[in-house]
Each structure stands twice: as structure tokens, then as C-alpha cells.
Amino acid sequence: MATSISLRNPNVSLGTTFPIARFASPRSSIVTLRMPGESMACPPPLATTAPSAAVETVPIGERPDRFGRFGRFGGKYVPETLMYALSELETAFETLSKDQEFQRELDGILRDYVGRETPLYFAERLTEHYRRADGTGPHLYLKREDLNHTGAHKINNAVGQALLAKRLGKKRIIAETGAGQHGVATATVCARFGLECIIYMGAQDMERQALNVFRMRLLGAEVRAVHSGTKTLKDATSEAIRDWVTNVETTHYILGSVAGPHPYPMMVREFHTIIGKETRRQAAEKWGRAPDVLVACVGGGSNAMGLFNEFVNDKEVRLIGVEAAGHGIESGKHAATLTMGEVGVLHGAMSYLLQDDDGQIVEPHSISAGLDYPGVGPEHSYLKDIGRAEYYSVTDVEALDAFKQLSRLEGIIPALETSHALAYLEKLCPTLPDGTKVVLNCSGRGDKDVQTAIKHLQL
Amino acid sequence: MALALKSAFFRAQIRAQTISHRNPSLISPSIVRLKSSTVMASLEVAQTRSISETFSKLKEQGKVALIPFITAGDPDLATTSKALKILDTCGSDLIELGMPYSDPLADGPVIQAAATRALAKGANFDSVISMLREVVPELSCPIALFTYYNPILKRGVERFMTIIRDIGIHGLVVPDVPLEETEILRSEASKHGIELVLLTTPTTPTERMKAIVEASEGFIYLVSSVGVTGARASVSARVQSLLQDIKKATSKPVAVGFGISKPEHVQQIAEWGADGVIVGSAMVRLLGESTSPEEGLKELETFTKSLKAALP
């Protein structure tokens, strides 16, 4: 296969002309999202009107360009042994995304096996909770990714990649996992498609997510404990990459988030973008136009990109990502990569990451294993840099409060990861004008977290 | 070598200028001359050739380079310093020194463990550089640093190159930067007289391999097998045909690494036409897992001699 290698200076900007001033700083008390005087009624009943006039689009650089870069972020920083496999993967993905039969097969599995489409649920009591004394307040909707088979959004990507692996003729699947949700999703699809499955999980993570470990084994996967480094997600990812380097000819690596070397950030986003696509249609049905604000938790960033991607070019839609501040960002024990990190290279991609003065990758901390990653997807780094998306962080304690609150107000027990996004509503809602439509990605259910919650919550 | 002379003189001038800047009364031509002669004297001690020149010389002599790899700081930096001297006197033609890193994804369990131990002992970039600053002038063979990309980025590529050039490092291997991403590294490396060695592997398609060998400096690092570092029982027969393919594409020297751990391996690879053989994990294990640093150094010496004996 002839490969033409052209070299491009990655520091040359791709000329983003995104107007940064459009977005109110998080510290401003007034956020103007629409013309004053425009009234917003309570959420209307199911409307059959067509979606509103086309939203103005904004030029942003290629996401990604053909070198796998989002601005200066992304790329393929991996050992040479993997380079051919990555380009093979990229070609296969491009071909399959145009293949109608593949799309039909994938849609069928998402519908009949995963249980899509997931509801866009009006959280009535949560909305009431944030309603101000004068009766005004935003309208809060939850995109119910927790209702997917296996209880989180992770399965969207696992299914897509498993189908891709089959097309590539790979019979052995490997994956890394933090919370275990991606591991469970991968083990699930391997059982469904009859593929050999090996999951790498940090020894420390295995302890705090024992239920998911059992689940993976029950589904037929081999779970390998990783004892190197800090014994958490970053080490499991490194070990999965090493396995792939060694077994690349027979193995497909189902990376669980929008991180890693190109084409993974793009591919994983594409497999999750159905979240945003459904949301657009559902929002139009429910209230006649796009949402105003999207909120999602960010670990590697897959559920957030899945929701945001559809709306990145709609400048009216505000994108908010919420990271884990652990014990507080000043404490040094957190996973707030976009807030406190520096740009570097981790697991194949240039992105923000948490590192020490020597350039060593540090062990992050979060009560939620799924957010406990010292890196972040390169596309999020890019969206932050160009000012298109805003990123905040929330502590363990705040997340636990939100975990309890949603359970009490809506009868939905959210994952601790999702609880971070929910916790940010405390700061966000008071700033939003009446009737602002907020869609929060309810990325997972919290049954897996009750063991952790029991240790921290007095009920 | 000319480059080393030039930069040494340049440094002498800077030092002279610095002195005169601090204390104007010291401005005197004799000071500058004294500095220059001191520099000349120290140059005669630290005469290391560049990596390319080393290979040229070996080729003239019909020899194959012995290239050991060890991890800096395991079991500790003092032992690394002694190990470098032993490797040098036992006939190493080039030494690769690995910078310990938290997430070495091209490395197997032996080198991973060495890195973890070194980091736990407090080894960091600055302490490794200090150690090298002392020992490099005493070595007769050139050193190439083996490091992952993030620590280079942390310091800034230009600054990193300046620092390592200053202490006399001749080459650099960065395993997680593939050809497409090497533009900045290569331009800064060449500005500073550092040779950036690139890797090619059994999974690299021929056209890509040709682009890699074209761009690689010093030598071409042929990874012997599909995998991470770590001793293997035998060397894959694929190495022979890979060597032939590379030799058709370039006249630059080729060294084979990953998995090589015995004199028999080394001999076999030399017979197949390699210009150099790299031995890593086997060395690292001896040093890191022995009963004491002294014991480790003794075993290292014996092992290195046995490898040298197996090579033409």
C-alpha cells in the first residue's frame, strides 16, 4: 500500500475565525441568550411543527484535519509499530461510514439491542428546584443515556467499533477501562458478536468497581489487573496500548473515549454523535428549536462530544463541560485537566494533561473512576482554546450532593460521573434567563456507584 | 567533531564575555586565551565522534557496533554513572541511555519496572543531566538519549536540545513520535548537532520504511519484532529480510533492537548484515534486579564482554 508521507508543521494555525467574545465569561451575572422581550412559555406539549429556520453556522477549523489534528491538538504520537494499524483503521472507518449496509446494520443494533433512541426527558422537579422566587428559571432536560443497554453511553462506541473490527477480520478485542462501564460495554458487544475479549483495568480501580469486574467476567471477558504506575485508568490505557503494539496484527483496540491517537478521537465521537442528532430532533419536536445550553461531564470526553458535536457549528448553542475537581483544584488531588493542565502528549494525542514539573504524568483523583484520567480528548482541548466550549469543575462533595439530589427529585440515580454535570447546575441555573432550554447528558446510571456512595453518604 | 570544537570555543567566548561583564577590570586578552587553552585541553580528553562517524569508522574496520541500553537512575544515578564507564571500557561503540518516564508505552515489564524504581528514587531530568555532565567527558563512545516526547515538550524542544548538546549528547531516540510528527524535532536537533534516530518496524509498509530511512540520522533503528521492549527467546527470522529491504533502500547503517538478550542473538544478527546490535532489557535486568549495585555492575561487565566477543 503506497503511503505518501507529507509533513506539515503542526504549530501552523488552521485559521479559526470563531468569535470568542460571543460567550459570556462564567463570572458575569447576566447572560444574554436571546433578544429582550422575547417571551418563553413553559415547555409546550409535543409539537408537530417543523424545526425553526436554519441556525447560522460558524467557521471553525477542520475537526480533525487529515493529520488527525484539531488545531494544534491531536495527532498520532505512538510507536511506529502501530502506525500502519492506525491508517488501516482510518481507511476502514471512512469506507464504512459511507457504506449503507454497515449503517443499516449499526442502526438496527442500536435500536434493537442497545435500546435507542433514548428519551429527552423534561426533569420537572429538578426544574422546579431551580426556579427562582419570581417564578423564572431555565427548563432542564435530561438526555437519558443511562437507559441504554449496560447503563451508560459507552455502548454506542463499543457496538460501532466491534462491527468495524469484524469487518477488519480481527477476532481479538482489547480495551482499557476506568469505572468499568467501557469494559462492560466492550465485554457485552464481544459476547454479542462472539469475539475474544481482554480488558485492562487498574488494580486500584478493580477494587472500587468490583461489581463491574464481576459483570465483565460473567460476560466472558478476561479482566487483567494492571499493577504498574498508579494502578488506575492511565496505566490501564498504557498497558492496552502495549498489548496492541504486540498483537496489532490480530487485535483491535476498542479505545473507550475521544482520546488516543487519530483516528480514535474522531471515530469515537462519530459513534456517539447519535446522542446529539437525536437531541436536535427531539428538541425540535418538543419546543421547536435547538437547545440553548448543553451540559455534560468530561473525563476523556466521549459523552460530551457525543452531545456537543451536532451543535458545534450552531453558535447560539452554549457548550459546557464539567470535570472532576476531586478534593478541590487547589488541593492537587483532582482530575481537572482542562482547568489545571498543561499541553503535552499522552497516549498518542497532544492535549491538555496533568503533569508535574518534570513532565511526568501525575495520578489524578476523583471519587468517580470514569473521570479519573489525567488527560482529555484533544477535541475538547481545541474547543476550549478557541473559546467554543466552556469547562468548569466540581468537587467530590458537590458531586455526591447532586447524586443524592437527582435521586430524591426525579427518582433517577445518576452515575457519579454524571453527578458532576448535575452539580454544576447549582452555579449555572441562577445565571440563566427564564425559559432557557438546558439539555444535560445523563451519561450513566448510578447503580454501580452505591458501594462508593455508602462510604460517603449518611442517609 | 568539528562541531564539538566550534561549540566549545563558542562557549569559551561566552564564558570570557560573562566574566568581563561581571567585572570590567578583568577584561584582558590573556583570560580569553587561558580559557581557550583549557578548552583545548579538555577537548583532547573528551573526543567522542558523532554517531554517524562512529558507524563509518566501524564499517571501515569491518566491525559491528555493540549498543547497550540502560535506564538512568536504576538502581541509582551513581550506579548508572559507573555502568556507563564499564560499558564504555568493555567495548561499547554507542550507549543508549533511557530517561525514566511514568508512562513508557513502548516498553515491556523490565524497563517499565526500572523506570518506576528510578522515579521512586527521585531521578528526574535535571538529576540525570547533572550525572551526565560529570561522566560524559570520561567516555570514549557517544551517547544517545532515549526519551518519550512529553518530557521534551515540557522543557520546550529547543531548550531540551540545547541542554543535551551542552553536556555532549550526540543522539536522540523518541519512540512515540512517528515520522509525521518529527518535523520540529528534526529541525531543532539538526540546529544543535544532535542526530535524531528514527525507528522502523516489521509492520511498516515498504514505502513508509523508505521515507523513514531517508529521514533518519545517525543510524536506522530496526525494531526486531512486533511488540514492546523485552527479552525474547530467539530472534525472528523476519529480521533478515527486513534488513535486506532496508539495505536496498539506503546505505545508512542499521542497528537492530528489541528482544536481543544473548551472544547467540547478537552473532546471528551480525551475520545477517546488521551494522549494530542494541541490547536493552537484558542489561537493565542485570543492573536492576541483582542483589546489590556492585554485583549488578560485575554481572554487567561479564555480560557486555560476552556480547562483544560474539561480534566481529
Three cell numbers written together for B101: 518516564
Known active-site residue B96: yes
User: How close is the nearest chain A Cα to the Cα of B200, in Å?
Assistant: 6
Three cell numbers written together for B293: 549495585
User: How close is the nearest chain B Cα to the Cα of A2, in Å?
Assistant: 6
In tens digits, what is the pLDDT along chain B, a chain of 312 residues? Answer: 444 444 444 455 545 444 444 444 444 444 444 444 444 444 434 457 899 999 999 999 999 999 999 999 999 999 999 999 999 999 999 999 999 999 999 999 999 999 999 999 999 999 999 999 999 999 999 999 999 999 999 999 999 999 999 999 999 999 999 998 999 999 999 999 999 999 999 999 999 999 999 999 999 999 998 888 888 888 888 999 999 999 999 999 999 999 999 999 999 999 999 999 999 999 999 999 999 999 999 999 999 999 999 998
Which of residues A14 and B146 earns the better pLDDT score? B146
Q: Is A246 touching B (CB cutoff 8 A)?
A: yes
User: How close is the nearest chain B Cα to the Cα of A330, in Å?
Assistant: 21
Per DSSP, the residues of A179-198 read SSHHHHHHHHHHHHHT-EEE
The alpha-helical segments, DSSP class H, found in A124-258 are 124-129, 154-168, 181-193, 203-208, 210-218, 233-247
Q: Which residues pair with A121 in a beta bridge?
A: A142
CB spacing of A80 vs B182 below 8 angstroms:
no
For B29-101, list the strands marked E by DSSP.
65-71, 95-98
Q: How far apart are CA B239 and CA B256, in angstroms?
A: 8
**pLDDT-derived band of residue A43, with 50, 70 and 90 as boundaries?**
very low
Res A191: pLDDT: 98
Q: Is A201 touching B (CB cutoff 8 A)?
A: no
Cβ under 8 Å to B: A residues 357-386: 357-362
Per DSSP, the residues of B214-238 read HH--S-EEEE-SSS-S---SS--TH
Res B47: pLDDT: 56
The one-letter amino acid code at B48 reads: T
Res A59: pLDDT: 56
Catalytic residues of A: 154, 176, 443
CB spacing of B184 vs A346 below 8 angstroms:
no
Vertex A79, ends B114 and A266: CA angle to 5°?
125
Q: What is the DSSP letter of A110?
A: I
CB spacing of B205 vs A81 below 8 angstroms:
no
Reported as half-sphere exposure (CB side, CA atoms, 13 A), residue A150 has a value of 28
* Cis amide prior to A64 (ω within 30 degrees): yes
The least confident of A50-64, A142-156, A378-392 is A50-64
Q: How far apart are CA A181 and CA A171, in angstroms?
A: 22
CB contacts, 8 Å: A66 with chain B: none
Nearest Cβ partner for B176 among A77, A84, A362:
A77
CB contacts, 8 Å: A343 with chain B: 153
CB contacts, 8 Å: B177 with chain A: 77
CB contacts, 8 Å: A375 with chain B: none
Res B11: pLDDT: 53
Sheet bearing A69-70, strands edge to edge: A69-70, A73-74, A349-353, A342-346
Q: How far apart are CA A248 and CA A24, in angstroms?
A: 46
Q: How far apart are CA A118 and CA A286, in angstroms?
A: 14
Per DSSP, the residues of A262-296 read TTHHHHHHHHHTHHHHHHHHHHHHHHSS--SEEEE
Res A44: pLDDT: 37
Res B17: pLDDT: 47
Q: What is the pLDDT of residues B89-101, one digit of tens each?
A: 999 999 999 999 9
CB contacts, 8 Å: A85 with chain B: 203
CB spacing of B201 vs A348 below 8 angstroms:
no
CB spacing of B150 vs A344 below 8 angstroms:
yes
Residue A28 reports pLDDT greater than 70:
no
User: How close is the nearest chain A Cα to the Cα of B30, in Å?
Assistant: 41
Nearest Cβ partner for B105 among A79, A83, A85:
A79
Q: What is the pLDDT of residues A269-288, one digit of tens each?
A: 999 999 999 999 999 999 99
Q: What is the pLDDT of residues A182-218, one digit of tens each?
A: 999 999 999 999 999 999 999 988 987 888 899 999 9
Average confidence score pLDDT of chain A: 87
Which of residues A342 and A19 earns the better pLDDT score? A342
Closest to B195 measured CA to CA, from B99, B53, B18, B73: B53
Res B144: pLDDT: 97
Cβ under 8 Å to B: A residues 391-450: none
User: Exposed, middle or buried by CB within 10 Å (0-12, 13-18, 19+), for B78?
Assistant: exposed
Closest to A146 measured CA to CA, from A459, A441, A457: A441
Q: Are A259 and A349 in contact (CB under 8 A)?
A: yes
% of chain A exceeding 70 in pLDDT: 87
Q: Are A317 and A22 in contact (CB under 8 A)?
A: no
How many residue pairs bridge chain A and chain B with CB atoms within 8 Å of each other?
145
Q: What is the pLDDT of residues B135-144, one digit of tens each?
A: 999 999 999 9
Res A229: pLDDT: 80
% of chain A exceeding 90 in pLDDT: 77
